[in-house]
Amino acid sequence: MKKLFALILILALACAGAACAESALPAYAYPGDDPIEAAVAEYTAEFGPGYRPETGSVSIPAPIILLVEETDDSHCRVYGNFWLFNYVLNGATLETISGGEMPAVLTLEKTENGWKVTDAEQAGDGEDYAKDIHRFCQGNEALETAYYEAEDLDNAMSWNVRHRFIRDYVAANGLAVEAYQDYGWDPIPLSRAFMSEPITGSLEDGSYILRVQLQPDDAGEWRADDMAQDGTVVKLVSAETAGGVLTVRYDPVGDGQMAVYLRHFTGIACDEALGFDLLVKDGKIQEVTGGSHTASPSDAELADYFTGEWLEKDTQFTVLTLTQNPEKGFDAEIISPMTHGAYICRATLYFDCELNAFVYDNGAYYEVPITDSEEAELGDPIVTNAGGRLAVIPDENGMPILSWYSELTPEEPEILFVRAE
């Protein structure tokens, strides 16, 4: 295990740079229900005591599992970066005293008592680090990239795993812990939401199981692809929620490769999508690579580019005004004068990361008032619940054009808008 703490994040000097432990912390034990993650976590945690000088400290793993590959019914290989951190308790905060990474491939064997790690092939130091990871991946470029992403504790994948393992440890032991803190950094409250919903995947008896820890304050909904179309090599068997966890199961129906997706919807818009590449061989899902991640920018980021006034590209007469909605999304108003349609359209738009466009399904069209008075009322809408999208395309000079599609013109834009000067 020489590599495990070859990268020391914090020099663990007794009572220097961190408070001495105020009380003994319970030993770590995996509290979840994923048998492979359990074997990996408990294997990693065993090595912590040799690297923590503080009495009463605890070792909590953060195993970032990148790929689980079944070699037969009772053996598998787990590719990942298996982080481990040591903590002491200071008030209501777990303070990190040391920690490090272990990029490796673990061999697991299924016994009567569950899975057990029987071998660990670790990446070496210096020049050997990159060479070993390249060798581990055997030409799988996506997996190789994932190894290097797992070096970064600030990316969503790594951060979420560490955050989840600490929260689960605190909850399982009934501790009055409110935050954890690395030396020189601000405390991170355990109540903080995950960077993206924490999702874990595992191969179980030839099926692929995805588990999503749902957040109580999340008004959106995760949905799994329904693989009902012809020619698929896996099918969606179930997607059920129990105990705050969405469990999705895919079963093999033929040999080959394909991707499955989990998508998070806020109303009509997909604001986050995750893809997982599956390999089915000999009637079993044997390999998972992923996942790819697509997420919408925040409304605040989009507002910098899109709020304001836009003019119909050719005539400059029809006007689109975009304002950020105080709750979520953007309010759009299109005023088309008497010479160009004589209507006003209003809708709330939401950015959809999959379409790379704003979408709406609550649009309303009104007749343009005959009077020019600002106090003139529009009256009842002549069309309600209209839907469509607002796509962003560049012109020949790379400047943005907003392309407005309605449900009546889903293939061709109804109007093209350019930024008003």
Buried b (16+ CB within 10 A) or exposed e, 1-38: eebbbbeebbebeeeeebeebeeebeebebeeebebbb
Q: How confident is the model at residue 8 (pLDDT cuts 50, 70, 90)?
A: very low
Average pLDDT over residues 59-73: 89
Asked whether residue 104 carries a pLDDT value surpassing 50, the answer given is yes
Q: Is 418 exposed, middle or buried (0-12, 13-18, 19+ CB in 10 A)?
A: middle
Average pLDDT over residues 97-114: 91
Q: How confident is the model at residue 216 (pLDDT cuts 50, 70, 90)?
A: low
Average pLDDT over residues 105-113: 92
Point out which residues pair with 415 in neighbouring strands: 404
Point out which residues pair with 69 in neighbouring strands: 77
Average pLDDT, rounded, for the chain? 84
Asked whether residue 230 carries a pLDDT value surpassing 80, the answer given is no
**Ranges assigned E (strand) in 9-74:** 58-72
Q: Is 330 exposed, middle or buried (0-12, 13-18, 19+ CB in 10 A)?
A: buried
**DSSP assigned state of 24:** P
Check residue 344 and give left, alpha or beta (phi > 0: left; psi -120 to 50: alpha). beta
Q: How confident is the model at residue 2 (pLDDT cuts 50, 70, 90)?
A: very low
CATH code at 199-295: 2.60.40
Q: What integer pLDDT is reported at residue 363 of this predicted model?
A: 92
Q: What integer pLDDT is reported at residue 225 of this predicted model?
A: 86
Upstream peptide bond of 291 is cis (omega within 30 degrees of 0) = yes
Amino acid at site 4: L
380 versus 176: the higher-pLDDT residue is 176
Asked whether residue 60 carries a pLDDT value surpassing 90, the answer given is yes
Residue 391 in tokens: 């796509």
3 state DSSP class of 307: coil
Asked whether residue 7 carries a pLDDT value surpassing 50, the answer given is no
Asked whether residue 55 carries a pLDDT value surpassing 80, the answer given is no
**Ranges assigned E (strand) in 353-414:** 357-367, 383-394, 400-406
Q: What integer pLDDT is reported at residue 311 of this predicted model?
A: 95
pLDDT in tens, 315-362: 889 999 999 999 889 999 999 887 667 889 999 999 998 888 999 999
**Ranges assigned E (strand) in 296-382:** 308-312, 319-324, 330-336, 343-352, 357-367
Contacts 24+ apart (CB under 8 A), 131-135: 132/103, 133/103
Asked whether residue 192 carries a pLDDT value surpassing 90, the answer given is no
Q: How confident is the model at residue 394 (pLDDT cuts 50, 70, 90)?
A: confident
Q: What integer pLDDT is reported at residue 51 of this predicted model?
A: 62
Closest CA to 25 of 51, 49, 50: 49
Share of the chain above pLDDT 90, in %: 44
Q: What integer pLDDT is reported at residue 15 of this predicted model?
A: 38
**DSSP assigned state of 207:** E
Q: What integer pLDDT is reported at residue 170 of this predicted model?
A: 96
- Please report, for the chain, the start and end positions of each structural domain, with discontinuous segments joined by +: 35-189, 199-295, 299-419
Asked whether residue 76 carries a pLDDT value surpassing 70, the answer given is yes
Q: What integer pLDDT is reported at residue 244 of this predicted model?
A: 72
